[in-house]
Amino acid sequence: MIGNGNAVWLRSRRHLLGGLLASMLAIAGPGVTPAETVGQPSPRDAGFSPAGLAAISDYFRNEIATGKIPGAIVMIQRRGKVAYFETFGVRDPATKVAMTRDSIFRIYSMSKPITSVAAMMLVQEGKLALDEPVEKYIPAFKDGKVGVEKKGEDGQLGLELVPARRAMTIQDLLRHTSGLTYGFFGTGLVKKAYLDANLYAGDFDNAEFAERIARMPLVYQPGSTWDYSNSTDILGRVIEVISGKSLLQFEKERILDPLGMTSTSFYVADPARQALVAEPLPTDRTIGPGSVLNDPRIARKWESGGGGMVSTIDDYARFMQMMLNGGELDGRRYLSPKTVAYMGSNHIGPSAGVVPGPYYLPGPGFGFGLGFAVRTEAGISPVQGSVGEMNWGGAGGTAFWLDPKEEMFVIMMVQAPSQRTRLRAALKNMVYGAFDR
């Protein structure tokens, strides 16, 4: 399609400029009138090659045509302007309704940055400190034990429970060095114990879930190893204890409502909006052993700060722009720019004494900050990007990255668990390949 020259550019321009006007109206927020969106820069003015951006469109259309994903939405925003926005395919393979920008996605672990921002608001206010032990707020975590695999006399592996050398801290929760884990990916006896415990059974709230997790052995000594985990769920409970409110209440009051993120929540309880929920292909609903995509239309007590939220691309774009602006949007400050920079620093570098675990999701060339993977080197990763990038994604397929150097963020909304890693890498290389200057 790229080789079709001017015809392609005209088609691409119509798609992009149509999305540009609507996007600026939705994302600009209070105080921005329609007149102010007139004459916004084209993709080329934002520093992108039209042919390069057309390649992104071609790629996602081919993914749909070849039956790999049902649909997707992609947004690139640079220097406060939408450079690329396009919807692809269908929202739901069963209904074949077209994907629309108000489609609601399970964002899973893209919930973690929101919860992390909420926690750092409390840190800024002196109500929480990163070096405080988690047990101060959730006493059940006192005297935690680490499960060490050892062979018995019969030659079989078993778990020996040894005392934690130190208590897990709030910083450990934010950077995934708590010793907690997830049972639905990876191997090992502690992970198996998580699965066997059936931690997600029944209708429970954050308080009950914290009690359940606290009874489990840790997979590593706190502060020693990066291992992806339920840490952010426990952080959500800490926020509840400090604030005296449910996690959703706190986040709505302090983040979601002020930012205008009206479609972001933990469930889609309104029957009138349930048809907006995007669905994967029927053969692609598994996110790990014993774990399938949830149905957000069924409201439950649990408000999972680590993986339970739903959102739209416009809502999440508001959150991204606030972070890219250093904690401010539309004249309202949410975090200090120093706090945002601190969150985007590498908190697991060599001097921290933290080693990457065997399932180190940030990948080569990346460290981890407070709620985000952070790029520390430009040339080691197999995908392009800038040092200082902050990113994360969700098990359902959604992903984002912030590139402060280029004043840019990119969001991909898709429900395709089995394709998520491949799609993210391809999109990142195509976006940087589309730069014109």
In 29-101, alpha helices (H): 50-65
423 pLDDT band, cuts 50/70/90, is: very high
pLDDT tens, residue by residue, 118-147: 999 999 999 999 999 999 999 999 999 999
Token pair recorded at residue 29: 């927020």
- Identify the weakest region by mean pLDDT among 116-125, 173-182, 184-193, 386-395: 184-193
Number of neighbouring beta carbons within 10 Å of residue 152:
9
Nearest to 420 by CA among 434, 400, 437: 400
Confidence at residue 437, expressed as pLDDT on a 0 to 100 scale: 84
Confidence at residue 22, expressed as pLDDT on a 0 to 100 scale: 38
Task: Provide the β-strand partners of residue 401.
Answer: 391, 410
The answer to whether 411 touches 318, Cβ cutoff 8 Å, is: no
Number of neighbouring beta carbons within 10 Å of residue 207:
13
Confidence at residue 14, expressed as pLDDT on a 0 to 100 scale: 41
User: Given a cut of 70, is residue 251 above it in pLDDT?
Assistant: yes
Rounded Cα gap, residues 44 and 271, in angstroms: 42
User: Given a cut of 70, is residue 6 above it in pLDDT?
Assistant: no
pLDDT tens, residue by residue, 41-61: 368 888 999 999 999 999 999
User: Given a cut of 50, is residue 33 above it in pLDDT?
Assistant: no
DSSP H or E run through 225: strand 225-226
Task: Provide the β-strand partners of residue 66.
Answer: none
- DSSP secondary structure of 363-388: -TTEEE-SSSEEE--SSSSSS---TT
Q: What is the mean pLDDT of residues 279-304?
A: 93
Token pair recorded at residue 137: 């707020």
Q: What is the mean pLDDT of residues 208-237?
A: 98
User: Given a cut of 50, is residue 411 above it in pLDDT?
Assistant: yes
Confidence at residue 34, expressed as pLDDT on a 0 to 100 scale: 30
Token pair recorded at residue 343: 């969150």
